[in-house]
Amino acid sequence: MLELGMKKNGAMLLNTFPTTVTPCIRIYYIIEGKFEWRINHQPYFFYPGDVALILPGVPFGSDNGTLEIGSFTWIHLDMQKLDNGYIIPGKWSGLSDSEAATIGKMLSMTGSPVLSRFSEAGKILKCIHTELTGHEIGYQTRVNHQVDELLIKMIRHMTQQVHPGRDFPQTFMRLEALLREDLSHQWTVEEMAALVGLGTTLFTEKVKSYSGFSPINYLINIRISEAIKLLKRPDISVTDIALDTGFYSSQHFATTFKKLTGYRPSEFRKNHLSNE
């Protein structure tokens, strides 16, 4: 369920750090030294204060199992895998369902497994270590709290790393791309805001002033635009289009579509497939 460890390595060792795959999330925090590890076959360098984040099922280790000089701590966390492919923290977590889902989704979508200059992770891991060795009253609850804290801090650090709060157009473009990649998902404002590292109030305000639309209305824009493209192809049913583009049902799709365009989807399709 949960493993916590610390390693201080005084000399370069071979065949001690082989590549492995596990069903849990693995978080490594570098205390001293410099490590070259492969995550998902890609080489990455880690320096003190950096965190390596290895998702379930991702191969992790180093070439020839080499372990360089230095020290690091790690924690392995049990995650649940959902039907839609996303992960959520296991039963130990005290996160609310919706926040756990958002965090799990963001973990699955993370681009880089390197969280640089993230010493807070080291502090939390140290606290967990102290609690686990001390066994004082309430230590189990405190450890679970600390793990949730670690996940939250990691997500926030990750978004700030990608979106340093300077370039809204670029941030918005990245968000746009993520929405398009998974248009059938029922996106919430909370999820979208979390992806760019803003609170929902500020996020909604920024999106509105930048795009002219509320986040949800902007999303409807993308959904209808994609739906129009699909309607102009004869090989996909209106119901499938509705679900693929994130509407609850073909009825919901038809209503929204008609309200905006004046056409029912089937009517629109007929007009565009024949020579007008």
Q: Which spans of this chain sit near another protein (rule: CB under 8 A)?
A: 164-168, 171-174, 176-177, 197-198, 202, 206, 210-213, 217-218, 221-222, 224-226, 228-229, 232, 258-263, 272-276
Q: How far is the CB of 259 from another protein (least distance, A)?
A: 7
Which CB sits closer to another protein, 112 or 251? 112
Structure tokens at 162: 């990608």
CB nearer another protein, residue 87 or residue 231: 231
Toward another protein, which CB reaches closer, 71 or 160?
160
**How near is the Cβ of 228 to another protein at its closest, in Å?**
4
Strand-pairing partners, residue 71, are 8, 32
Burial class (CB in 10 A: 0-12, 13-18, 19+), 10: exposed
Q: Which is nearer to another protein, 47 or 172 (CB)?
A: 172
Q: Which is nearer to another protein, 85 or 262 (CB)?
A: 262
DSSP letter assigned to residue 261: H
3 state DSSP class of 275: coil
> Residue 248 burial by CB count (10 A; 0-12/13-18/19+): exposed, middle or buried?
exposed
Strand 42-46's sheet: what is its strand order?
42-46, 35-39, 60-61
Instruction: Tell the smallest beta-carbon distance from residue 125 to another protein (Å).
Output: 28
- Nearest approach, Cβ of residue 184 and another protein (Å): 18
Alpha-carbon separation of residue 12 from 20, 59, 244 (angstroms): 20, 22, 52
- The nearest distance, CB 22 to another protein, in angstroms, is 28
